[in-house]
Structure 1
């Protein structure tokens, strides 16, 4: 079994409804996302991906389509909270709003990212690990073995 990792970056804002600190205010981060996949490299001399668990380009496309393009320079808003109205008002003013059904913390974003990536992985390739840096020294981690 081999693990491969690719690192991605995106700029996203969020606002935390009901939070008792500074993050209750709309603010943004330069996120850094580490995506680790595991699998056995293809062993077929005639396969164009011979020797690879997955082509890094294929992983890049999944993350670009599911995370980077939709979230970059947007604002994540909890649509199940009164912030729904805030998001709708921002959208009316021409801002890019991503309505989610969770409090948009780093922790919950990891669950969402995991789900979005997993549905696109080829057979035999598994999501093993995610790390999402919200700041240079604050991050959350998702491990496949911790999921039930």
Structure 2
């Protein structure tokens, strides 16, 4: 089994509304995302061109989340934030690192070639705090 990893970064703000603590306040992160794909077959001596992986992740993830306010889609949030912010990404669930990873997985998997599988996603909120999804 071969694998390749591409690392991305983006800036976003969020609030965890169903949380008792500091994370219920609006705050931001400099996220770092590691995307690892794997497979057995090589096409033109590569598992997947890094440029192709970059294009998928950029279009499906980074362009939607970078410099965006990420919030759970609730009536209270819509009332409080929709008029104040230009770029809001509404999530069905609280925008925790774990929920964001599940959303990312669902966006990336259908875009990959059939001979490549998404192996793992690791999302750093800070230099020492991260969540990981493994296929």
Normalising by structure 2, report the TM-score.
0.94
Superimposed CA distance per residue, residues 6-40 of structure 1 (whole angstroms, 9 cap, x where no aligned partner): 10000011111121111111111000000000012
Unmatched tracts of structure 2, length 5 or more:
none
Partner of 1:45: none
8 Å CA contact 1:80–1:102 kept in 2: the answer is no
Is 1:99 the counterpart of 2:90? The answer is: yes
Is 1:118 the counterpart of 2:112? The answer is: no
User: What pairs up with 1:52-71 in 2 under 5 angstroms?
Assistant: 52-71=46-65
The alignment partner of 1:19 has SS state of coil
Partner of 1:32: 32
User: What pairs up with 1:7-46 in 2 under 5 angstroms?
Assistant: 7-42=7-42
Unmatched tracts of structure 1, length 5 or more:
43-48
Q: Which moved more, 1:80-89 or 1:6-15?
A: 80-89
Q: State the distance in 1 between where 2:75 and 2:17 align.
A: 7
Superimposed CA distance per residue, residues 83-137 of structure 1 (whole angstroms, 9 cap, x where no aligned partner): 232232334xxx2100111100001000001111101001111000110000000
CA radius of gyration, larger in: 1
The alignment partner of 1:130 has SS state of strand
The alignment partner of 1:83 has SS state of helix
May I ask how many residue pairs the two structures share in their alignment? 135
The alignment partner of 1:60 has SS state of helix
The alignment partner of 1:89 has SS state of coil
Q: State the distance in 1 between where 2:79 and 2:25 align.
A: 15
Partner of 2:68: 74
